[in-house]
Amino acid sequence: MEQRHQPIGVFDSGLGGISVLAEAMSLLPAEDFIYYGDNGNAPYGDKHPDQVLELSRAVVDDLLKRNCKAVLIACNTATSAAAASLRAELTVPVIGMEPALKPAALMPGQGAVLVLATRMTLRLPKFSGLMELYGQDAQPIPCPGLVELVEQGELEGEQVEEMLRGFLAPYLDRPVKAIVLGCTHYVFLRKAIRQVVGDGVALVDGNLGTAMQLLRKLREGGLEKLDTGIQGKVAFLTSAPDRKAALDQMAAMLALARTSAVA
């Protein structure tokens, strides 16, 4: 098979990266994708960086055995812990993510920028570098437990909103101009976050920027599949013990993201 016709591998610790997959599919409709959710090892955000690196290597090895022409790490935590090493080890393009602090900080208006992310994302050097450049008005907020709610399919309701209020309430007594969704799982919580903060605060994620970077890397390498008007295919893989349930949940989450229900 000609390399440009090979699929693109996308992976995350679980379901969150499906929000990135949906953006990539919209931007690159002719491409085929293989999405790997490492649900059996989720969440990554509370693990040691070395463990996340080894888990990421194992997932990428599986994707490369399936002839993926590029790898998109649809996970801020895995990007922070593994992207540099994977790029040094592999010949295929490796595209990662970072919390969208820069675009949030550069938005017009006054007020704080709240950065919701996993503990690991917030404590690794990649985020520290972002804070040095764009963090003058930023407040990092670790959010343990949110990933698990999304993995359980809990996207709205009293339990979700109560947890979000616990994280956000201490910072809502002053002006807030933006909230950065620094974990791909949190994109599925937009409605619940809106219930807590209202409509006057921008919710910013890095999904579209990441998909655009994927497109740039494919074009640079002559790997972009030509658009023939035929919609590309998507295959799902999972490490979850209950494989069928996980795959059904992935398909449902993709349908949710593709209908803009998480926007």
Q: Which residues are catalytic?
A: 75, 183
DSSP the chain: --GGGSPEEEEESSSTTHHHHHHHHHH-TT--EEEEE-GGG---TTS-HHHHHHHHHHHHHHHHHTT-SEEEE--HHHHHHHHHHHHHH-SS-EE-----HHHHHTSSS-SEEEEEE-HHHHHSHHHHHHHHHH-TTEEEEE-TTHHHHHHTT--SSHHHHHHHHHHHGGGTTS-EEEEEE-SGGGGGGHHHHHHHH-SSSEEE-SHHHHHHHHHHHHHHTT-PPP--SPPPPEEEEE--SSHHHHHHHHHHHHHHHHTTTT-
